[in-house]
Structure 1
Amino acid sequence: MTSAKSSQSMKPATAAKKLGIYLPAAPQEFQDNPVSREEFSELQSNPPQWLEELRRNGPHPRPEVARKLNVSISGLARGGVTEPLTTAEITELLQNPPQWLVAERASFAAVRAEELRLRDEAKKDEDKKAK
């Protein structure tokens, strides 16, 4: 007894999130239709021109903006950045960082350093228990 393989699909918002793009900037056809796993794999391995253009120039969703600016998403909100930014806008912020960006980057770096320290400490404790 064999069962027909059903094709899984994801909502456009999920596919956009996984592709790291801002859904409202994607073509209407992409926004309106579910994306099958096969189509998603094809978009990842062989991106069409519109996807390459969105990834290169934006607008970028907040998680991507936060990653490019090296701050948290909360840090973006505290800095007043609530809308998607283009690559040019991100570059401008990096070249002429406002005070909030300098402060948020320092805070984010401190948090990451503390997380790394705690992770290393936990590993050392684990190693001691193993001996």
Structure 2
Amino acid sequence: MRTPKPQTMKPQTAAKKLGVLLSATPAEFQEGDLSRTELNDLQENPPEWLAELRRNGPHPRPEVARRLGVSTSGLARNGVTEPLTTAQIKALLEEMPPWLEAERATHAQVRAEEARLKAKRREQA
């Protein structure tokens, strides 16, 4: 009886699941596929390079959007297409340009409406 081959994922997928920018990861991470066991181990016991990336960036767009409290579409609408570091994100939050304030308000409204609809569906069920 053969033992099943472990399921693997490409480095891009693993980086996405870890919430880091693939191009900022070490070469050995970028070059080989990862098994689910290896991914779980990275999540539970992150090596220093992963902890540093999560702490200081550069961060991928979904993480930048989450930290700024806006949508990824909101970033694109305002020309933020490059990865940002934690320091750049903090600077934007301190500066609070008008576009960021408007996008945060829009994002909050969308979230509130989604929550309202979800509650309404729960009531009806």
| TM-score of the two chains, using structure 2 as the length reference | 0.96
Aligned to 1:45: 44
Aligned to 2:29: 30
2:65 equivalent to 1:66: yes
| Displacement after TM superposition at 1:5 (Å) | 2.4
2:102 equivalent to 1:103: yes
Unaligned ranges ≥5, structure 2: none
| Displacement after TM superposition at 1:65 (Å) | 0.4
Structure of greater Rg: 1
Q: Which moved more, 1:115-124 or 1:90-99?
A: 115-124
Q: Which moved more, 1:71-80 or 1:3-12?
A: 3-12
- Paired with 2:37 and 2:115, the residues of 1 have a C-alpha distance of 37
Q: Aligned-pair RMSD on alpha carbons?
A: 0.9
| TM-score of the two chains, using structure 1 as the length reference | 0.92
Unaligned ranges ≥5, structure 1: 127-131
- Paired with 2:117 and 2:35, the residues of 1 have a C-alpha distance of 40
Aligned to 1:129: none
